[in-house]
Structure 1
């Protein structure tokens, strides 16, 4: 199965460090940041788990629930969390899924044989409240994720949904957004009474914070 943007993500039941979950029920009406790591007690993974914990308030402010996964057991996860908290000066509270039989990792295509037959690569899935996949990224085992980009991408997705706009390269909150070509100028003036700049007929930008 290939998981494509816009697809409903597969549901699953699993044991986690905070107890058993049914994934769709666990997401509820929130967004989810579902991410995998190769193994517990490894250096890059430790920094990523710590960074996710450090950003708990940032995720919560966006209505996003983080959840990790590796092909280790709950017992191993719980022991490792102590190391994460100690070395990264944080308190990790989000769940980490145990997947010792690789069932969920295979369901979400986290096992890439060119990297490993048993360990998950660094997959990222941003999932909306409708349980649809909105963004996916895959990092190799040796490279940690850019959490600034993960938060920026979430901001862009949520802004696009709320305002009906597209977001340009390197966009950050407060920057100009793009009016989709499918919106006529007449409709754009109604939707964005603050006005917009027409750089080309297909490229119109607007400050949505002025709306």
Structure 2
């Protein structure tokens, strides 16, 4: 099945959405982007996910991340489903969803992007779209992908956290350790010598002593 690897240029596909026809690269412009797919409209887990995404859409905007969803139903179904989503999110059902949903009723994009779940099927026996997450950088390259089965809902707090890490590490010569959150110490990347690190991080760094004696756990506070 076709799929995308980290660093690949994200396909510049054209598609119908709830806000009109788009060309993906034009939609993204110079911003970051997140595309998250859904198995089907009017399904329980998907509704909770889209409602969460809608309720925290301002958090993505603050990070200059354009949001777009995908589901294997029609634009008309998406628009009707959006009313349920916004009602579940606690808003008026007439409020518009703050991001578009791509119509993929022929499953063409789902196949191209490697999104189909081989185990979960609809009432007609057709495979459902898995819960994919693609984060795309301003250079239109894939920076992160996460693939959940159709039965497991995503954690949008984690998606915001990894975007914070991606954006930080794209600008600074650092990596983020396990369970890192913005404001916490980061790690100096191994390819920097101590002398180079001193130039990049004049605020200083600390090194964790280890039994091996190797000084590779170097931390700094940005």
Give the TM-score, by structure 2 length. 0.91
- Say which SS state the counterpart of residue 76 (structure 1) adopts: helix
Counterpart selection for 1:104 from 109, 127, 141: 109
Could you report, residue by residue, the CA deviation over 1:48-76 in whole angstroms, capped at 9, with x for unpaired residues? 11111111110000000110001100000
Shift of 1:20: 0.4
Structure 1 segments unaligned to the other structure (5+ residues):
none
Aligned pairs (5 A) from 1:1-211:
1-90=2-91, 91=95, 92-116=97-121, 117-199=126-208, 200-208=214-222
RMSD in angstroms over aligned alpha carbons?
1.0
Distance 1:179 1:185 in 2: 9
Distance 1:142 1:179 in 2: 38
- Say which SS state the counterpart of residue 89 (structure 1) adopts: coil
Distance 1:6 1:196 in 2: 30
Q: Aligned residue pairs: how many?
A: 208
Structure 2 segments unaligned to the other structure (5+ residues):
209-213
Which deviates the most, 108-117 or 25-34? 108-117
Could you report, residue by residue, the CA deviation over 1:166-196 in whole angstroms, capped at 9, with x for unpaired residues? 1100000111100011101111111100000
User: Residue 205 of structure 2 contacts residue 221 of structure 2 at CA under 8 Å; is this kept in 1?
Assistant: yes
Which stretches of structure 1, 4 residues or more, deviate above 4 A after TM superposition?
none
